[in-house]
Structure 1
Amino acid sequence: MTVDFKAEIDKRRNEMMEDLFNLLAINSERDDTKVDKDHPFGPGPVEALEHFLAMAERDGYQTRNIDNYAGDFEFGQGDETLGIFAHLDVVPAGTGWNTDPYQPVIKDGKLYARGSSDDKGPTLAAYYALKIIKDLGLPISKKVRFVLGTDEESGWGDMAYYFAHPDVQKPDFGFAPDAEFPIINGEKGNITEYLHFAGDNQGDVVLHHFTGGLRENMVPESATAIISGQISLEELQDKLSVFLAAHPQISGSVMTKDHRFTVQIIGKAAHGSTPEEGLNGATYLALFLNQFTLAGPAQAFVQLTADILHDDFAGHKLGVAHEDTKMGSLSVNAGVFNFEESSSDNTIALNFRYPQGTDSASIKAGLEKLSGVEKVTISEHEHTPHYVPIDDPLVATLLSVYEKQTGLKGYEQIIGGGTFGRLLERGVAFGAMFPDYENTMHQANEFVDVEELYRAAAIYAEAIYELIK
């Protein structure tokens, strides 16, 4: 049976965009301050999950809500199951937006909102792709299970709970609409390790407070420090002016209150898998503070950040660099910084995306050699390297559909980012960003090109049909 999937998407443009606007208006950031037994990651992700499942029920699916951790629904019959894994949680909006991140708006063909490209836009595109197959009654021989997560941007606690549920079995193969075309069939390992600092805080200049970063998988857009000591406001302002003149790509400010100075540096956020695309406000702030005479843990904290972490995206200065011929180089994002003078446990969270040939223990051993670090700990959430061969029927089919619909040559890709595609042994990420597309995931003014999203939906529709017909 021949189907013009682009034409079918065109028929549903208005309803698809209405559904997407409604979903994007929900602030589904994780909020640990409001976690309880009914809201495992806070109320926002639950609201988004309930909204999406209600939409699926409207369209005739029988849905399951797995205790507000995740949800799913199935379509079709067969011995094999195709899994489509999407997520409804989003990273914090942060600052620097030109529009309200939770009031979606289209400008010059681009839909601006937090989650528009990661991952609510692609999720809706894949949903409408499946809806077309269902609406048309196309003949199929396999089941499709559409899975909705609520903690992909943090610890993947949603999927751990989902697959531990007695009524859940893993699909046989599948994809996540949460990356880029033509395909992502390989993903580096992903682990966060923490540097701990302790001791008495002294010196001519005293560091009372230093914070930067919202999530370990985001480049900190900004950072703030509070200092006092043998320095005047005028001297501090002069030094900051010189520093900003030497680094015109960032901005900064100084305020004073109660004989203490608050220094802020603003850089640029980026996805933690591509730290070189951002301007780390925290490492720049440490670079500025490193000219002052600090002591104790404050000195170790600032000096290590300035001398080693700043612009060390491959871990060379950290002593953990590693490269694999297929998967490429290790990358490191200095994601979250916390220093309080009253605390005996100040930390820097380093998020590593590592290729085959190294592991979290080897990285930890390298970090433990750093001067001034009291100890190193490892997050309990780790993803080891994942790869599905290019000749696997899943990969071959998806690339074939991509080539047919775009006229472009398909090729395999391995990334530092982590997607739900790696949940399955035969799992990949597929779209929705096209080659040479501007990636605004995890950044202010996140957007998705509306026409490109419709284009992705048509690719998803044909791809799903080819996999289950």
Structure 2
Amino acid sequence: MYKEKLDAYIDAHKEDMLEDLKTLVRINSQKGETQPGKPFGEGPAKVLDTAEAMLKRYGFQTTNYDHYVVTADYSDQEKKLDILAHLDVVPVTKNWKETEPFEPVIKEGKIYGRGTADDKGPAIAALYAMRAVKECGVPLKHSLRLILGSDEECGSKDLEYYYAREKEAPMTFTPDADFPVINLEKGRLQKGFTQKLDSGRGASVLHIQAGTKVNVVPDTAKALVRGLIKEEVQKIADQRKNHIMYILEETEEGVAITAKGLAAHASTPELGHNAICGLVGLLADLPLETGKETWEAIAEMFPDDDFYGEALKIAMEDEISGKLTMNLGILNYDGTEVKGVFDSRIPVCGSDENVTRVLDQTFTAKGFGIEEGNMIAPHYVPADSELVQKLLASYEVYSGVKGEAQSTGGGTYVHDLERGVAFGCMVPEVDNHMHGDDEFMTIDMLLMSAKIFADAIVRICG
């Protein structure tokens, strides 16, 4: 049986895997300034060069696509499978405790460092799966290609460049999400809205600063209100029955209001409490002399804990992708103009007709200007497809549990590929601190992922 050979190979090469992963993690591959021959800067180009040398050392035929991506081909046979991973990483802070971001450390069965989970660790797992199949002599009828990109975190211009030159494989998976398999990614709509508003005289809002990223449920929102006293605002705040804490401070200019909620990702807003919604709701309740209708309109469209667009009359769901979600991620006001941005994740049943157009009409009717633009369509590969079924079978062999195809409100590296799904390397019950401080990959998961990928390669290409 090939399974025992592949498993033994991967177990025997554990230390090699970890050393190769350390080599990649030591390279700071955050996006930098474009240079000649280095479209995403010094770090991404360096990590691609390092990976290409690694791939050549293990006997694979490589191609460097002008430092956008590097590929490794298994053989000269007709290709049936692409494995798509990326080597760029998100920015880092100075708050790491277990190690420095680019100094990988192994502790208690985990390897720490930026990129260990997203996505250098999974890339190494895929590489060693290919090595195992090749060096164990498992016969394949079709070839496969490992594609290593360098711009997943900042817009995937690497894939735009690559797929302008190469065709999509009959099947593709990216080890850049969760097991078992993510075969459905919701559509996405982000739009800004504006309204001119002079702060005028008397009781009014002077400015608002709330939210930094539209794809994050904001946990803090701040406003300055003049013409009212702290006790008056406090009394109204105390009457609001929500999950928001209001912190008030009397200043020379007026009452400074800080609304504190709970952060979450915009794809799962129900896990948080939106501080902007809580702040605007309070402003709408205040006895303002100027601008009250504006804050009332925003509060009406984005009430507290309305995660699903019900107030905007776009609530919908379907069996395969779940509910539409809505997040008001940014709201600013400088005394002359209100500017906001929202993020909605759309199920398969959604469309520009029943989502985008409805929102455009709603905002326009309330006196707001709204940006032009259509939604990014949902991505869906049927759960009964050959690709999904074979990946689930490989997962089940090693996990020991029944695998089912999953949907997500987030987007993955394969969102724009007709025949691509996300497959590993995380499991929901483990917080790898992806994009956060002390990011790590459990070594057992790294090894198991390599075994699962090797099994999947044989099932698809053998």
TM-score by length of 2: 0.81
The Cα of 1:22 is off from its aligned counterpart by 4.0
Structure ID, larger Rg = 2
Cα pair 2:72 2:146 within 8 Å, conserved:
yes
Q: For residue 448 of structure 2, what is the aligned residue in structure 1?
A: 455
Q: For residue 426 of structure 1, what is the aligned residue in structure 2?
A: 419
Ranges in structure 1 where 5+ consecutive residues have no aligned partner: none
Q: For residue 18 of structure 1, what is the aligned residue in structure 2?
A: 19
Question: For the residues of structure 1 that align with 2:193 and 2:437, how far apart are their CA atoms?
Answer: 28
Q: For residue 402 of structure 2, what is the aligned residue in structure 1?
A: 409
The Cα of 1:314 is off from its aligned counterpart by 1.4
Question: For the residues of structure 1 that align with 2:347 and 2:396, how far apart are their CA atoms?
Answer: 28
Q: For residue 265 of structure 2, what is the aligned residue in structure 1?
A: 271
Question: For the residues of structure 2 that align with 1:255 and 1:442, how far apart are their CA atoms?
Answer: 37
The Cα of 1:197 is off from its aligned counterpart by 3.1
Q: Which amino acid aligns with 2:161?
A: Y
Question: For the residues of structure 2 that align with 1:6 and 1:16, how far apart are their CA atoms?
Answer: 14
The Cα of 1:199 is off from its aligned counterpart by 3.2
Q: How does 1:380-419 map to 2 (within 5 A)?
A: 383-419=376-412
Greater shift after overlay, 75-84 or 199-208? 199-208
Q: Which amino acid aligns with 1:411?
A: E
Ranges in structure 2 where 5+ consecutive residues have no aligned partner: none
Question: For the residues of structure 2 that align with 1:69 and 1:359, how far apart are their CA atoms?
Answer: 33
Q: For residue 181 of structure 1, what is the aligned residue in structure 2?
A: 179
Q: Which amino acid aligns with 2:159?
A: M
Q: For residue 226 of structure 2, what is the aligned residue in structure 1?
A: 229
Cα pair 1:270 1:442 within 8 Å, conserved:
no
Q: How does 1:184-199 map to 2 (within 5 A)?
A: 184-199=182-197
User: 1:91 and 1:243, CA in 2 relative to 1: closer, same or farther beyond 3 A?
Assistant: farther
Question: For the residues of structure 1 that align with 2:413 and 2:155, how far apart are their CA atoms?
Answer: 12
Q: How does 1:22-421 map to 2 (within 5 A)?
A: 22-30=23-31, 34=33, 40-41=39-40, 44-93=43-92, 102-103=101-102, 104-165=104-165, 168-202=166-200, 204-214=203-213, 216-220=214-218, 222-223=219-220, 225=222, 227=224, 229-230=226-227, 247=243, 268-286=262-280, 292=286, 300=294, 304=298, 308=302, 310-335=304-329, 337-341=330-334, 344=337, 346-348=339-341, 350-368=342-360, 369-370=362-363, 372=366, 374-378=368-372, 383-421=376-414
Cα pair 1:297 1:372 within 8 Å, conserved:
no
Cα pair 1:318 1:367 within 8 Å, conserved:
yes
User: 1:202 and 1:98, CA in 2 relative to 1: closer, same or farther beyond 3 A?
Assistant: farther
Question: For the residues of structure 1 that align with 2:248 and 2:159, how far apart are their CA atoms?
Answer: 42
User: 1:225 and 1:439, CA in 2 relative to 1: closer, same or farther beyond 3 A?
Assistant: same
User: 1:323 and 1:247, CA in 2 relative to 1: closer, same or farther beyond 3 A?
Assistant: closer
Q: Which amino acid aligns with 1:325?
A: E
Greater shift after overlay, 199-208 or 297-306? 297-306
Determine what percentage of the aligned residue pairs are the same residue: 35
User: 1:353 and 1:245, CA in 2 relative to 1: closer, same or farther beyond 3 A?
Assistant: closer
Question: For the residues of structure 1 that align with 2:322 and 2:13, how far apart are their CA atoms?
Answer: 41
Cα deviation, 1:54-89, whole Å, max 9, x if unaligned, reads 433443444333344333222212223311112234
Greater shift after overlay, 146-155 or 120-129? 146-155
Cα pair 1:224 1:262 within 8 Å, conserved:
no
Cα pair 2:60 2:73 within 8 Å, conserved:
yes
The Cα of 1:161 is off from its aligned counterpart by 2.5
Cα pair 1:269 1:444 within 8 Å, conserved:
no
Cα pair 1:173 1:424 within 8 Å, conserved:
no
TM-score by length of 1: 0.80
Question: For the residues of structure 1 that align with 2:22 and 2:206, how far apart are their CA atoms?
Answer: 45
Greater shift after overlay, 285-294 or 2-11? 285-294
Q: Which amino acid aligns with 2:190?
A: T
Cα pair 1:49 1:71 within 8 Å, conserved:
yes
Q: Which amino acid aligns with 1:181?
A: F
Q: Which amino acid aligns with 1:452?
A: M
1:466 aligned to which of 455, 459, 462: 459
Q: Which amino acid aligns with 2:371?
A: T
Cα pair 2:187 2:378 within 8 Å, conserved:
yes
Cα pair 1:85 1:146 within 8 Å, conserved:
yes
Q: Which amino acid aligns with 2:74?
A: F
Question: For the residues of structure 2 that align with 1:39 and 1:463, how far apart are their CA atoms?
Answer: 34
User: 1:395 and 1:246, CA in 2 relative to 1: closer, same or farther beyond 3 A?
Assistant: closer
Q: Which amino acid aligns with 1:225?
A: K
Question: For the residues of structure 2 that align with 1:27 and 1:71, how far apart are their CA atoms?
Answer: 17
Question: For the residues of structure 2 that align with 1:25 and 1:188, how far apart are their CA atoms?
Answer: 34
The Cα of 1:295 is off from its aligned counterpart by 7.3
Q: Which amino acid aligns with 1:119?
A: D
Cα pair 2:204 2:225 within 8 Å, conserved:
yes
SS at match of 2:405: coil
Question: For the residues of structure 2 that align with 1:395 and 1:320, how far apart are their CA atoms?
Answer: 31
User: 1:291 and 1:316, CA in 2 relative to 1: closer, same or farther beyond 3 A?
Assistant: same
The Cα of 1:177 is off from its aligned counterpart by 0.8
Cα pair 2:196 2:338 within 8 Å, conserved:
yes
Question: For the residues of structure 2 that align with 1:281 and 1:322, how far apart are their CA atoms?
Answer: 24
Q: Which amino acid aligns with 2:305?
A: D
